[in-house]
Amino acid sequence: MIAAQAGRAESGTVAKTLYDKLVDAHTVRRLDADGRQVLLYIDRTVLNEYTSPQAFTGLREAGRPLWRPKAALGTVDHVNSTASARTARMPDEEAQRQAVYFAENCRDFGIELFDVLHPQQGIEHVVMPEIGLVLPGLVIAAGDSHTTTYGAFGTLGFGIGTSDIEHYLATQTLVYQRLKSLRVTVSGRLGPGVRAKDIVMALIRDIGASGATGSAVEFAGEAISALSMEGRMTLCNMAVECGARGALIAPDETVFAYLKDRPRAPKGELWDLAVSRWRELASDADAVFDREVRIDAGAIAPMVTWGTSPDQAAPIGGQVPDPAREADPDRRRDMERALAYMGLSPGTALEEIAIQRAFIGSCTNARIEDLRDAASVVRGHTVAPGVRAMVVPGSSAVKRQAEEEGLDRIFADAGFEWRQSGCSMCLAMNDDVLGAGERCASSTNRNFEGRQGTGGRTHLMSPAMVAAAALAGRICDPRPYLGAE
Amino acid sequence: MQPFTRVEGIAAPLPAANVDTDVLMPKQFLKGVDRSGLKEGTFAALRYGPDGAPRADFVLNREPWRAASFLVVGENFGCGSSREHAVWGLSQNGIRALIGTSFAGIFFDNCARNGLLAITLPQEDVAALSARASDPDTCRIVIDLPNQTISAAGLSLRFEIEATRKDALVRGLDAIGTTLQARDDIAAFETAYLKGNPWLA
């Protein structure tokens, strides 16, 4: 029996975590004796053009229909251009073939598609919540690791590979192994100018890039309750970078207020019924987690990565660490390799690191609140000479809203490129790439070798910090720019 | 799916931690609509220099590991992107099993769906296997999945694996076909579930 089931509520029933409740409510049948492996019903998915084609080919070859076409949405996001003039053409022939085959598959299998010219097009994990398809209590699996984003709504979201996309499409289920439970309690309040991105980067630094592997994380505590939906999505999105296969926050009034009147959210009596049920979605007070981690929000400073793994990070006042001080030989070798790739010397102050590129975008940090925050830094300043700075809104709807608020002018006047929506230089599958040796301040989620371009050097940070770095021409503390010294 | 029973072959050491799927299969190889052509993509930035020539310092470019069937890997192998192309590429290079202390969750599942056996062992066992894999004289090992054993020079290890995962790998089962045998259960569950959550119907 797992520890989470060991606690007993006063009523005599087994105390459960929110994660257990979601898995139990979606279990079609047990696949082994102790119920560790189950056939799990999946409510919805979102599909993209690059991880789905082989799944559709598999269905076509086997002559299998979709189980529930209305439970899938397609959006083109990974390979499209983000140039300001939008056309249906992809940046290269291979990307074009993926987009065409994706459109064919959506048409032939009856799936709604937001293609690159659609007014709702955008990054899948920005689009799904903003149109109201991510609702508390759901299980959503999708062919992208950052599906954990949906935990912000009290939805169990997790990434799957292409074989499991095919399995989902044909059966509406997945063969699912129950995870261990990890609760991360973030107490106290964030200091001025410190963001959700800094919480999750501090967590990853503390527990390591595999610190939550095999676990579903539940975030709790005063600092989490105080976060906006955008902040919660950033947090749950990046939980996968410490290995979490699900990241949950119990839904509250902040969630309900965000969802009310979204186009695809329930309306009228169904809304009232749904909210009454959503209020019950929380871990029992005496539920036992397999592991607990506690973080003091007040102790978190703006974070930045110095290496090639998301856990190779430090607060902005810090320095590039010295591998010679690392006792573990394997870790020392990994650090040396990371510093060689990044072109950094031990002891260098992080604030002395000059950049050539600045990127605000991605499913982690390109929602409207992120753009407002970055614009508040940029307003009235100009990008440093020699820095190329880009803003890629998370969705076409975010782009329109930002333009209504005049944020595009603030960025453009400062010298930022104001672009169309897509995954863009987060993973550089389109034509937005770093050159070899170029160093980028980036609001994205992965600083892996070559992630943003072969030989490109990525420093992860919050969008406000990217904006500050673009102005300063080097990595710097965003707090003075935010009036938060 | 190719069944995995008893496989003998060469093991290659790749001890770096946090080897991510961007390294396993760089983005320029993700532009296809089928599973072909991924053999060259596997570890491309480590295997080939900027001029396209093989790097002599990369283990899979050297004898005898050029013909490796197994990789003995570092912690958190396969982290990052969900791209299954990473697993397809390993299989196309003849890799049948991976042995390490921990694997990222999505990657671990992707391996199982493609008949690639991912074995988790304690650090000391992985270190012992890595040492043998590093020596051309001792790098041949045998993995017996039905009996859950790994045999190497002077070493015999037992590993754990969930019964259902093992069964699917040994028999090379088609997961979708197996699940669809329960189609009536799924349909009954769905009907009751949507009735209980009418805003989802």
Of B23, B83, B162, the CB nearest to A448: B23
CB-based contacts of A409, cutoff 8 Å, min separation 6: none
The pLDDT value recorded for residue B174 is: 86
Distance, CA of B128 to CA of B131 (rounded, Å) = 5
- The interface predicted TM-score of the complex, written ipTM, equals 0.95
pLDDT of residue B198: 98
Q: Which range, of A2-16, B31-45, B90-104, averages the lowest pLDDT?
A: A2-16
How far is the alpha carbon of B157 from chain A, nearest alpha carbon, in Å?
A: 23
Q: What's the token pair of residue A223?
A: 């600092």
Is the pLDDT confidence value at B39 over 60?
A: yes
Beta carbons of B33 and A273 less than 8 Å apart? no
A265 Cβ contact list (under 8 Å, min separation 6):
A132, A135, A259, A271
Residue in chain B nearest A240 by alpha carbon = B80
Distance from C-alpha of A101 to C-alpha of A53, rounded to nearest angstrom: 7
Which chain B residues have a beta carbon less than 8 Å from that of A67?
186
Global model pTM greater than 0.90: yes
Residue with tokens 């074989």: A163
B30 CB near a chain A CB, below 8 Å?
yes
Q: To the nearest whole angstrom, how far is the Cα of A172 from the nearest Cα of chain B?
A: 8
Does B131 have pLDDT greater than 80? yes
Q: Taking CB atoms and an 8 Å cutoff, what residues of chain B touch A334? A: 16-18
Q: How confident is the model at residue A330, as a pLDDT? A: 84
Backbone angles phi, psi at A228, to 5 degrees: -70, 170
The pLDDT of residue B17 is above 80: yes
pLDDT per residue of chain A (485 residues) written in tens, 0 to 9 = 333 344 444 455 789 999 999 999 999 999 998 899 999 999 999 999 999 999 999 999 999 999 999 999 999 999 999 999 999 999 999 999 999 999 999 999 999 999 999 999 999 999 999 999 999 999 999 999 999 999 999 999 999 999 999 999 999 999 999 999 999 999 999 999 999 999 999 999 999 999 999 999 999 999 999 999 999 999 999 999 999 999 999 999 999 999 999 999 999 999 999 999 999 999 999 999 999 999 999 999 999 999 999 999 999 999 999 999 999 888 899 999 999 999 999 999 999 999 999 999 999 999 999 999 999 999 999 999 999 999 999 999 999 999 999 999 999 999 999 999 999 999 999 999 999 999 999 999 999 999 999 999 999 999 999 999 999 999 999 999 998 76
Do residues A431 and A79 make contact, with C-beta atoms less than 8 angstroms apart? no
